[in-house]
Amino acid sequence: MSDTPHGGEGSGAASLKAPSSALHSPLSAASCWIGLGANLGDASGTLQRAVAALAALPGVWVVSVSSLYRSAPVDAAGPDYWNAVAELGTTLPPLALLHALQAIEGAEGRERPYCNAPRTLDLDVLLYADQRIATPELTVPHPRMAERAFVLLPLAELAPERVSAAQLRAVAGQRIDRVADQAWAGLPA
Relative orientation angle of helices 43-56 and 94-107, to the nearest 10 degrees: 140
- Tell me which of 70, 75, 80, 119 is the catalytic residue: 119
**Exactly one of 42, 80, 112, 122 is catalytic; which is it?**
122
What's the rounded Cα separation, in Å, for the pair 169 and 172?
5
Active site residue 112: no
In order of 89, 130, 155, the CA distances from 161 in angstroms are 17, 12, 10
Q: Taking the alpha carbons of 14, 18, 23, 26 in that order, is the dihedral positive or negative?
A: negative
Q: Is 75 a catalytic residue?
A: no
The answer to whether residue 162 is catalytic is no
Among 42, 49, 70, 110, which one carries the catalytic annotation?
Answer: 110
Q: Is the backbone peptide bond immediately before 5 cis, with ω within 30 degrees of 0?
A: no
Judge contact between 60 and 50, C-beta under 8 A: no
Residue 17 is given by DSSP the state: P
Q: Is 122 a catalytic residue?
A: yes
Nearest C-alpha neighbor of 178 from the set 72, 86, 68, 75: 68
Q: Which of 70, 124, 144, 148 is catalytic?
A: 124
Positions marked active-site? 110, 119, 122, 124
